[in-house]
Amino acid sequence: MKGVGQVLTRAKGKRRGRGRRGLRTARMERIGAERIDLLVHEAKRRAREGEEALASKYIIRAKKIAMRLNLKTLGKYRGEFCKECMVPFVSASIFRARLHGKKKVITCLRCGNVHRRPIEIKNLDREK
Ligand SMILES: [Zn+2]
């Protein structure tokens, strides 16, 4: 898909904006957030189609944008992909989910990384 593959390349070739470090304009944030959403969306689609390597590349790319712009956008996708190999958990061939006591154990079948998360009980066990 066009537009998705390329990361924010504006600064390429040119001297990286001096005195801009850590400072981001509202526009940069918006564009970055949009691109992250797009990349995650595309990554999930690819993963469903079996292109896991490509999918994780997209997630890594999204993460880099988030880190560069200091965005929290990726936070809403927490738990939706492997923290090790960045593959999105979209199909049963990628991950295995089991309940273990009060924990949800998600095993990535790609790299074997295990994620343990407390079972979410909505509206009941809210953080104060
Ligand atoms: Zn993994």
Tell me how far the alpha carbon of residue 114 lies from the centroid of ligand 1, in angstroms.
Answer: 8
CA distances from 77 to 27, 70, 74, 88, 97 (A): 22, 16, 5, 10, 17
Residue 18 domain-assigned (yes or no): no
Total domain count, the chain: 1
Tell me how far the alpha carbon of residue 16 lies from the centroid of ligand 1, in angstroms.
Answer: 33
pTM score of the predicted model:
0.72
Tell me how far the alpha carbon of residue 3 lies from the centroid of ligand 1, in angstroms.
Answer: 26
Question: Where in the chain does DSSP place strands (E)?
Answer: 95-100, 103-108, 114-118
Q: What is the pLDDT of residues 47-92, one digit of tens each?
A: 999 999 999 999 999 999 998 888 887 888 888 989 999 999 998 8
Residue 11 domain-assigned (yes or no): no
Tell me how far the alpha carbon of residue 56 lies from the centroid of ligand 1, in angstroms.
Answer: 9
Residue 101 domain-assigned (yes or no): yes
Residue 41 domain-assigned (yes or no): yes
Tell me how far the alpha carbon of residue 92 lies from the centroid of ligand 1, in angstroms.
Answer: 13
Question: What residues make up the domain containing 32?
Answer: 26-118
Residue 79 domain-assigned (yes or no): yes
